[in-house]
Amino acid sequence: MDLETLTLQEQISGLRDKKFSSVELVENYISVIGNNEDLNVFVSNDFERAIAKAKKSDSSNNIQQDMPLNGIPMVHKDIFCTEGVKTSCGSKMLDNFYPPYSATVVERLEQAGSICLGKANMDEFAMGSSNETSFYGAVKNPLNKQKSPGGSSGGSAAAVAANFSSFSTGTDTGGSIRQPASFCGLVGIKPTYGRVSRYGMIAFASSLDQGGILAKNIKDTAIALQYISGYDPKDATSIKTKVPNFSEDCESDKFEHVVGLATNLINSFGDENLSKNYSKAIKRLAKLKIKTKEIELPNLELSLPVYYVIAPAECSANLSRYDGIRFGYRAENVDNLEDLYFKSRGEGFGNETKKRILIGTYCLSSGFYDAYYKKAQKIRNLISSDFVNAFKDVTSIMLPTTSGEAFDLGSITDPIEMYKQDIFTIPANLGGLPAISIPFGEKDNMPLGIQFIGNILEESSLLNISNKFQLD
């Protein structure tokens, strides 16, 4: 039995029925990881503790019914603080940072019994769409090592696609779960803003960041999402509401669906392959007898410039804490305090991060705040209003996840072209809406993705429509 190819559901059943042990599962993954180090998926591993936890899991009286993820290995994106394990955020700035506490997401998965194998590589401070901005080098797509796995959660996506784990955590600020899911042929969900605690998740853009899950199928995604969701008093933006049973809801017959179609918007891009794959997805819905309705999202095309004002502005504020004094990288041979600030930040941050800090600082500066940041927030409200109006008539909205398949590593050097990778994923973040990407179609032997965007706190409906779509 190839344990590494099993889905999360199959691993849970296998452990419950004692077909294999947690130790066997962990050791098997460690062996597979060791044979594929060239993918550059891990920033750090936690193999010794993982084996120790697996032994404890096998000898415990906790059964899968009580702790459903008991003994299940998984991988965390290196943006989630993990007590005693290096959490670098893909940056030289935090290359020596070992948190004294764990993020709420990490704690909740541990309480459910899961075992962390290590921390996945990522774009520096989650800033990137290709996993090429990492201090530790680019991650390679397991489906084709010449291609990007997407970003910023590229390491998390590659870990699942390469069979290093059955699921992984990621974060999504403008598409950083869904785009890698599309590039690697996986399911990736970004829940409603506030559904998953951001405590212990290193901040990029606080009003946009949200933790989520990458997995091999919808049911696995629903299972894992269940255990990271819920109110957290440590996070002021956390929503105090009951968490539905996502695992049951994704297969339920109680949901009625009307899917919003933005056909005119997709055709306006003039990309034949994009339009063709979207048309195939519409035909899939028709075959499944799922109701559809044409909708208008007039301000969606403004999402990209709005995002690249708001996100850098928030990153400029959040990253000001890295000053070379309290924690993180500290430059040597400095002349004075100001020199320490300059050199620590100049040497500790990579080019993309520094670029976004400068853009954000400029947008927030006196004389430009009204012209850029304030105007961007107004347009953000218009984009959110478009979704509010659309959801009066539909239960979800179907869009492509990306404009194409995974591109070659190093092939996009124009930053504007790289930013355009997020054109279809950013709107959900601006509206704080849940969104999911599932595999659909392919081009040049690489997978494509289709995404469904749902109304606030409607993850169950979103998982349900995705499951119906995927099972056909």
| HEC secondary structure over 84-103 | CECCCCCCHHHCCCCCCCCC
Q: CA-CA distance, 154 to 413, in Å (whole number)?
A: 18
Residue 384 pLDDT greater than 70, yes or no: yes
pLDDT band at residue 64 under the 50/70/90 scheme: low
| From 45-59, 85-99, 233-247, 260-274, the region with the lowest mean pLDDT | 260-274
Instruction: Check if 129 is active-site.
Output: no
List Cβ neighbours of 421 (8 Å cut-off, separation of 6 or more): 129, 130, 175, 179, 402, 403, 412
Contact indicator for 1, 13 with CB cutoff of 8 Å? no
Six-digit token string for 283? 């035909």
Write the DSSP string, 173-231: SSSTTHHHHHHHT-EEEE--TTTB--TTB--SSTTT--EEEEESSHHHHHHHHHHHBS-
pLDDT at residue 103, as a whole number: 98
Q: CA-CA distance, 237 to 247, in Å (whole number)?
A: 25
Q: CA-CA distance, 60 to 88, in Å (whole number)?
A: 33
Contact indicator for 278, 329 with CB cutoff of 8 Å? no
Cα dist. 355→166, 185, 397 in Å? 35, 31, 33
Q: CA-CA distance, 362 to 371, in Å (whole number)?
A: 11
Instruction: Check if 31 is active-site.
Output: no
Element (H, E) at 26: helix 22-34
Residue 65 pLDDT greater than 90, yes or no: no
Q: Tell me the average pLDDT of the chain.
A: 95
Write the DSSP string, 216-271: SSHHHHHHHHHHHBS--TT-TT----PPP-HHHHTT-S----EEEE-HHHHHTT--
**pLDDT above 90 as % of the chain:** 93
Q: CA-CA distance, 360 to 364, in Å (whole number)?
A: 6
List Cβ neighbours of 264 (8 Å cut-off, separation of 6 or more): 294, 296
pLDDT at residue 1, as a whole number: 67
Contact indicator for 72, 116 with CB cutoff of 8 Å? no
Among candidate residues 202, 162, 203, 205, the one with its CA nearest the CA of residue 422:
205
- Residue appearing with tokens 């995604």: 221
**pLDDT above 70 as % of the chain:** 98
Six-digit token string for 324? 């070379």
- Residue appearing with tokens 């605690």: 197
Six-digit token string for 81? 């603080």
Residue 62 pLDDT greater than 80, yes or no: no
- Reported pTM: 0.96
Catalytic residue among 152, 156, 182, 396: 152
pLDDT at residue 472, as a whole number: 58
Each residue's pLDDT tens digit, 136-183:
999 999 999 999 999 999 999 999 999 999 999 999 999 999 999 999
Q: CA-CA distance, 358 to 361, in Å (whole number)?
A: 5
pLDDT band at residue 470 under the 50/70/90 scheme: confident
pLDDT at residue 38, as a whole number: 97
Each residue's pLDDT tens digit, 341-364:
999 999 999 999 999 999 999 999
CB neighbour burial string for 385-424, b if at least 16 within 10 angstroms, e if fewer: ebbeebbeebbbbbbbbbbbbbbebeebeeeeebbebbbb
Catalytic residue among 77, 86, 92, 216: 77
Instruction: Check if 77 is active-site.
Output: yes
pLDDT band at residue 59 under the 50/70/90 scheme: confident
Backbone angles phi, psi at 386, to 5 degrees: -60, -45
Strand partners, 141: 144
Residue 471 pLDDT greater than 80, yes or no: no
Q: CA-CA distance, 3 to 52, in Å (whole number)?
A: 19
List Cβ neighbours of 23 (8 Å cut-off, separation of 6 or more): 51, 54, 55, 58
Element (H, E) at 10: helix 8-16
Contact indicator for 406, 147 with CB cutoff of 8 Å? yes
Six-digit token string for 384? 């959110």
Each residue's pLDDT tens digit, 79-97:
999 999 999 999 999 999 9
Q: Is 367 exposed, middle or buried (0-12, 13-18, 19+ CB in 10 A)?
A: exposed
Each residue's pLDDT tens digit, 307-323:
999 999 999 999 999 99
Catalytic residue among 168, 176, 303, 460: 176
Reduced to 3 states (helix: H, G, I; strand: E, B; else coil), residue 277 is helix
Each residue's pLDDT tens digit, 28-45:
999 999 999 999 999 999
List Cβ neighbours of 35 (8 Å cut-off, separation of 6 or more): none
Each residue's pLDDT tens digit, 281-300:
999 999 999 999 999 999 99
Q: CA-CA distance, 49 to 57, in Å (whole number)?
A: 12
pLDDT at residue 70, as a whole number: 93
Q: CA-CA distance, 228 to 192, in Å (whole number)?
A: 13
